[in-house]
Amino acid sequence: MSNSRKWIPIPGSERQVVSDAKYVSPVQSDDQIKVTVIFRRRGNEPPVQSGGKLVPHFTTREQFGQAHGADPNDVAALERFAHSHHLTVVERHDPSRRLVLAGPAARMQEAFQVELGIYDVPRTGAKYRGCHGEVSLPEELEPGVIAVLGLDNRPIAKPHFRRRKPRASATSFTPLQIASLYQFPSGLTGDGQTIAIIELGGGYQTSDLDTYFSSLGIKNGPSVTAVSVDGGTNSPGGEADGEVMLDIEVAGAIAPASNIAVYFAPNTDQGFVDAISQAVHDTTRKPSIISISWGAPEDSWTAQSRDAMNAALQDAAALGVTVTVAAGDNGSTDGESDNEQHADFPAASPYSLACGGTTLHADGNTITSETVWNELSENEGATGGGVSRYFALPDYQKDAKVPVQPQTKFAGRGTPDVSGNADPSTGYSVLVNGQNEIIGGTSAVSPLWAGLIALINQKLGKPVGFLNPLVYPLGSKPFRDITKGNNGYYKAAAGWDACTGLGSPDGTALVDALQGSAQKSTSA
């Protein structure tokens, strides 16, 4: 390792070894590795929607990149550094502030001053490449970089879906029945909208999609395209197929004339961040909505990973792209075993529309009851929700009476923002690998809201964009306020709560309210 320069650690780049992992061996020196370097922005922070009115977004992604992409000087300096360590520049994308480098493990360890090893996790049978120590850069380069991702390739997230266990009292709904119960506006199809769906595994079969949409009476379903990120592919045949098919079938049934682009990436922090960045800055497909049904407790991420993803989500907000994110399926602890309360990420990002879960019962086309989804006592999950330990209370929640985080007393961002039916016992009828299944989880709520937003965008004739600052001032009128139940620590109450947020949607009322906001903005 070179001692001729002063090296500075990237803040928040050190990863802890998985609790029950065992060190197996060092990496082979010639193992090929790709890393993604995330740069700081040039210029000021991009303006995002605030207050209760629609505001103009950047006209094009190209304009955004010129104003808030990476500083070309930062990128050029890092490229020279990479070449000096015999690393190859595989991809450079200044608008999303990303540079992808490739090279042998020995060169990577030298360039970033780390030690890489292979670890085994007996509990899961998985192996991963772990990074020991903080990632460092020469002092003249470090200020321009916020993250170096890919040295550690452990799985980072889980899909937030749950298959229903057999029970006599269970029922199910098609996405169209849910849309009707929630009064989604009629006569709209999502025409002209592109919904991006982020997947970290699994795949879909086009024949299944055709069969499913046909069974719902949809003659012409959405156009579905698979997009590869960091080598990820549409690979049906595994457990994660349930997630992929649920996402596409729910969003596509609600918005059958939309285009759906499914971004497949490896389940690593590098893959997750790259997938979101690629979708946000995709100048070919130009998504107006992104749906994410994967996540993990905030604490399981490094600070550099959270910062990199949050920056990508901020890009989406500035570009007028709505990002819906599942809030988690393991109640207020988010599945952690420390008896403390944890929010799920990326739902906890202030730029996400975090989607919580309810248990919905209906008689015909009338909702008879709707409560917080909580079946923890039967080991069937509960809606995530809580208060962030890392992201401060955003302005749009200043009047929502979000409690402080109970363990840290931090005044953090509260999740979820909105909700919808998620209980597997009142789940969604979907088709997965030729089999009819009933699936629930907040994974279903994210594409449900994504489909609704596609309808709203079509109605308004423009993207609604960063929705959070628009919906909080609307009060309870466009929502079904859920006041019964809990997700463990937090209890439902009138108004916003950390179980179901503002509530489940009254789609028509929400369209009318947002249309009023758009008219006020136009007249202003």
Last residue of a domain, one of 132, 149, 166: 149
Which domain does 145 fall in, by range? Answer: 7-149
Largest CA distance in the chain: 75
514: domain CATH number is: 3.40.50.200
The answer, as to whether pTM is greater than 0.95, is: yes
In this model, does residue 3 exceed pLDDT 70?
no
pLDDT, position 518: 65
**pLDDT tens profile 289-299:** 999 999 999 99
Q: Span 103-132, mean pLDDT?
A: 93
Of 26-35, 158-167, 194-203, 419-428, the poorest mean pLDDT is in 158-167
Residue type, 515: Q
pLDDT, position 523: 44
pLDDT, position 71: 97
Please say whether the beta carbons of 306 and 345 come within 8 A: yes
Which residue from 238, 229, 214 is spatially nearest to 261, judged by alpha carbons? 229
Point out the residues that are catalytic: 243, 247, 443
Q: Is there a single domain that holds both residue 305 and residue 344?
A: yes
Distance of CA 38 to the CA centre of its chain: 18
Q: Is there a single domain that holds both residue 389 and residue 451?
A: yes
Q: Is there a single domain that holds both residue 164 and residue 202?
A: yes
Q: Is there a single domain that holds both residue 249 and residue 122?
A: no
pLDDT, position 197: 98
In this model, does residue 63 exceed pLDDT 80?
yes
Q: Is there a single domain that holds both residue 176 and residue 145?
A: no
**pLDDT tens profile 366-397:** 999 999 999 999 888 999 999 999 999 999 99
Q: Span 6-25, mean pLDDT?
A: 90
Q: Is there a single domain that holds both residue 293 and residue 207?
A: yes
Q: State how beta strands 322-326 and 289-292 pair.
A: parallel
Asked if residue 467 is part of any domain, the answer here is yes
Question: Which contacts qualify for 435-440: CB closer than 8 Å, 24 or more apart?
Answer: 437/163, 437/164, 437/242, 438/163, 438/164, 438/170, 438/172, 439/161, 439/162, 439/163, 439/164, 439/242, 439/246, 440/161, 440/162, 440/164, 440/357, 440/373, 440/381
The larger pLDDT score, comparing residue 520 to residue 290, is at 290
Last residue of a domain, one of 149, 181, 201: 149
Distance of CA 362 to the CA centre of its chain: 30
Q: Span 331-348, mean pLDDT?
A: 97
Asked if residue 251 is part of any domain, the answer here is yes
pLDDT, position 256: 98
d(CA 505, CA 183): 8
Q: Is there a single domain that holds both residue 165 and residue 83?
A: no
Q: Is there a single domain that holds both residue 121 and residue 20?
A: yes
Query: Domain total for the chain?
Result: 2
Tokens found for residue 447: 């594409």
Q: Is there a single domain that holds both residue 97 and residue 184?
A: no
Give the CB-side neighbour count of residue 321, counting CA atoms within 13 A.
Answer: 31
In this model, does residue 508 exceed pLDDT 50?
yes
Last residue of a domain, one of 149, 172, 198: 149
In this model, does residue 249 exceed pLDDT 90?
yes
Of 61-65, 311-315, 349-353, 430-434, the poorest mean pLDDT is in 61-65
Asked if residue 1 is part of any domain, the answer here is no
Asked if residue 2 is part of any domain, the answer here is no
In this model, does residue 522 exceed pLDDT 80?
no
The larger pLDDT score, comparing residue 56 to residue 382, is at 382
pLDDT, position 167: 65
**pLDDT tens profile 144-202:** 999 999 999 999 999 999 988 776 567 899 999 999 999 999 999 999 999 999 999 99
pLDDT, position 4: 66
Asked if residue 145 is part of any domain, the answer here is yes
Q: Span 432-446, mean pLDDT?
A: 97
Q: Please, what is the average pLDDT of the chain?
A: 94
Q: Rounded to 5 degrees, what are φ and ψ at 317?
A: -60, -40
Please say whether the beta carbons of 295 and 437 come within 8 A: no
Q: State how beta strands 98-104 and 289-292 pair.
A: unpaired
Residue 94, Cβ neighbours under 10 Å: how many?
18
Q: Is there a single domain that holds both residue 63 and residue 191?
A: no
d(CA 340, CA 151): 30
Q: Is there a single domain that holds both residue 239 and residue 339?
A: yes
Asked if residue 19 is part of any domain, the answer here is yes
What is the share, in percent, of the chain residues with pLDDT greater than 90? 88
Please say whether the beta carbons of 443 and 159 come within 8 A: yes
**pLDDT tens profile 314-326:** 999 999 999 999 9
In this model, does residue 41 exceed pLDDT 70?
yes
The larger pLDDT score, comparing residue 281 to residue 53, is at 281
Which residue from 119, 135, 110 is spatially nearest to 14, judged by alpha carbons? 135
pLDDT, position 118: 95
Q: Is there a single domain that holds both residue 125 and residue 218?
A: no
